[in-house]
Amino acid sequence: MKIVDTFRRPLAAAALAASLSGCGLEALLVEAGSDEHVIPVTTVRGSVANLPETIVLTRPDGEEVEPVEFEATGGNYVLDLPDAEYVNARLTAADADGTLMVLVPRIEMDSVLDGVDIDTRSTAAALIVDAAAAAGGVNLQVVDPCVLGVALDGIAAEIDDQGPAAEVLAALDVSGPTAPDAALAAAAAGVSLEGVIDPVLIRTVLEVNFNEGQVDGNCDGISRFRWVRDEPGKQMYFVGGLHEDSPVQDLEYNEPMGSGSGSWTPNQIPMFDDGTNGDEVAGDNIWTLTLDLPRGARIGYKYTWGQQGQLWTGTEEWPGNQRILEIEDINGDNFVRRRDNFADEASNKDKANLNRQGMGEIDWESDVNDDGIADARERPLDLDNDCTLDDWVTPTAIGPATVACE
Ligand SMILES: [Ca+2]
Ligand SMILES: [Ca+2]
Ligand SMILES: [Ca+2]
Ligand SMILES: [Ca+2]
């Protein structure tokens, strides 16, 4: 608790006395000096980079909390709030030149929280969180404050490391405050409000387009049924396993890829085209499998069009060779997303690769089409099937891999 001068804040004291009646604290109030009463408040302190007349606390539901007392001198402020716990609160400091803000994950009841600095840096972080919340359709009311705290720490580290968040800070127009949408979107892509990003595993979303009329890495039309028998009752399966070049060799990761027995078994691991399990659109003939794999692992894989338990012949994209993929998040969105066209033999196929710009084989570093993206990595999506990759697209049908927040 903290002493507040009741001459300056008689209303607050009266309200408090009323709220305390019945809980045994009236005696304390009566026995206090004539000009000082014991008022429990929750205090926040820190530096503030502008000259606000007051600082407003807003709860995530939009409710504004009137301060009990506010003082700012020499670039530092003390904000006394009605005694309560505040979760995912926003402090806003406005002056004639603009508005600064800070997001605070948790302010404990009857406490003094120091070091809540309000400046362009905290404002950039708040805007990035807002952009991440908007992009993910997440309301800060339901975000675990521990998760918000980790997200803010991550943004601070990214500002220090000159990552995308630093660009938001550099571009900040404090009078708004606003920042360019592209910079905000790039910084927000790395922010998870649904949980703490798993430092070991990364959500890997593998998609294969089985539509007629797709083109391969040479921009030639693909014949889906060159190696595959066109029979009714089939669906898409995935099969693969850790590659012999993988620095990670924990065999447990082979099971969900269909090679838990020690060898690849086709037509065991179904892919989804029903809008579940990370599949973005039901029934669009783009099939999805979501796996959590170790960051840095290397896998081999291919797709089969078959019936559960069917053998290789007449179901695999092509016989003999495999696709290769390094589990590395190139665009920093906490996913590895790889979309392939079924039976594309000019893409990330390791041997007998038909890309005319290559030498028939690719390795982990190959960039056969010279677009700056290694062929064995995730890549932007080709959204219009013109053989030119267009945009990185973060999956929206499923969240990233997370761990408990502590
Ligand atoms: Ca689909
Ligand atoms: Ca990614
Ligand atoms: Ca490439
Ligand atoms: Ca394109």
**Neighbour count for residue 402 (Cβ, 10 Å):** 16
Assign 6 a pLDDT band (cuts: 50, 70, 90): very low
* Together in a domain, 226 and 333: yes
Is 7 a member of any domain? no
* Together in a domain, 320 and 393: yes
Number of structural domains found in the chain: 2
Residue 64 is which amino acid?
Answer: E
Give the model's pLDDT for residue 147: 97
The residue from 164, 179, 194 where one domain ends is 194
* Together in a domain, 180 and 281: no
217 CA distance to ligand 2 middle (Å)? 21
Tokens of 278: 């990370």
β-pairing, 41-47 vs 112-113, is: parallel
* Together in a domain, 184 and 215: no
Ligand that lies nearest to the alpha carbon of residue 273, given by its number in the listed order:
1
Q: Which of 21-25, 210-214, 245-249 has the lowest mean pLDDT?
A: 21-25
pLDDT digits (tens, 9 = 90+) for 44-84: 999 999 999 999 999 999 999 999 999 999 999 999 999 99
Rounded mean pLDDT of 136-157? 95
Residue 173 is which amino acid?
Answer: D
pLDDT digits (tens, 9 = 90+) for 387-401: 899 999 999 999 999
Give the model's pLDDT for residue 52: 97
Residue linked to tokens 């806003």: 92
217 CA distance to ligand 4 middle (Å)? 12
CATH code, domain with 254: 2.60.40.10
Residues measured by CB to lie within 5 Å of ligand 3, the ion: 367, 369, 371, 373, 375
* Together in a domain, 206 and 309: yes
Give the model's pLDDT for residue 385: 92
* Together in a domain, 94 and 243: no
Rounded mean pLDDT of 310-318? 98
* Together in a domain, 127 and 182: yes
Is 2 a member of any domain? no
39 CA distance to ligand 2 middle (Å)? 51
268 CA distance to ligand 2 middle (Å)? 26
Residue numbers of the domain that contains 172: 40-194
Q: Which of 36-40, 324-328, 386-390 has the lowest mean pLDDT?
A: 36-40
Residue linked to tokens 């570093």: 365
Rounded mean pLDDT of 350-379? 96
Give the model's pLDDT for residue 1: 34
Give the model's pLDDT for residue 400: 93
Give the model's pLDDT for residue 136: 86
- 86 against 14, higher pLDDT: 86
379 CA distance to ligand 3 middle (Å)? 8
218 CA distance to ligand 4 middle (Å)? 13
Give the model's pLDDT for residue 36: 53
238 CA distance to ligand 1 middle (Å)? 14
342 CA distance to ligand 3 middle (Å)? 18
Decide if 17 contacts 39 (C-beta within 8 A).
no
**Alpha carbon distance, N-terminus to C-terminus of the chain:** 28
Residues measured by CB to lie within 5 Å of ligand 4, the ion: 382, 384, 386, 388, 390
4 burial level (CB within 10 Å; 0-12, 13-18, 19+):
buried
379 CA distance to ligand 2 middle (Å)? 8
Strand stretches in 62-178, DSSP E: 64-65, 69-73, 76-82, 86-95, 98-107, 112-113
Give the model's pLDDT for residue 406: 86
Residues measured by CB to lie within 5 Å of ligand 2, the ion: 329, 331, 333, 335
Q: Which of 152, 141, 44 is nearest to 87 (CA)?
A: 141
* Together in a domain, 182 and 203: no
Decide if 46 contacts 121 (C-beta within 8 A).
no
Ligand that lies nearest to the alpha carbon of residue 365, given by its number in the listed order:
3
* Together in a domain, 165 and 314: no
Assign 176 a pLDDT band (cuts: 50, 70, 90): confident
Give the model's pLDDT for residue 53: 96
390 CA distance to ligand 1 middle (Å)? 19
* Together in a domain, 208 and 176: no
Ligand that lies nearest to the alpha carbon of residue 373, given by its number in the listed order:
3
* Together in a domain, 231 and 164: no
* Together in a domain, 279 and 299: yes
241 CA distance to ligand 2 middle (Å)? 20
The residue from 155, 173, 194 where one domain ends is 194
Decide if 68 contacts 81 (C-beta within 8 A).
yes
Rounded mean pLDDT of 231-241? 97
Is 151 a member of any domain? yes
Ligand that lies nearest to the alpha carbon of residue 278, given by its number in the listed order:
1
Give the model's pLDDT for residue 37: 52
Ligand that lies nearest to the alpha carbon of residue 387, given by its number in the listed order:
4
Decide if 26 contacts 17 (C-beta within 8 A).
yes
Is 119 a member of any domain? yes
375 CA distance to ligand 1 middle (Å)? 23
283 CA distance to ligand 1 middle (Å)? 5
Give the model's pLDDT for residue 143: 96
pLDDT at 205 over 80: yes
Is 16 a member of any domain? no
The residue from 160, 194, 228 where one domain ends is 194
Is 335 a member of any domain? yes
User: How many whole angstroms separate alpha carbon 62 and alpha carbon 44?
Assistant: 19
Is 178 a member of any domain? yes
303 CA distance to ligand 1 middle (Å)? 15
pLDDT at 22 over 70: no
377 CA distance to ligand 3 middle (Å)? 9
Is 214 a member of any domain? yes
Ligand that lies nearest to the alpha carbon of residue 205, given by its number in the listed order:
2
Assign 95 a pLDDT band (cuts: 50, 70, 90): very high
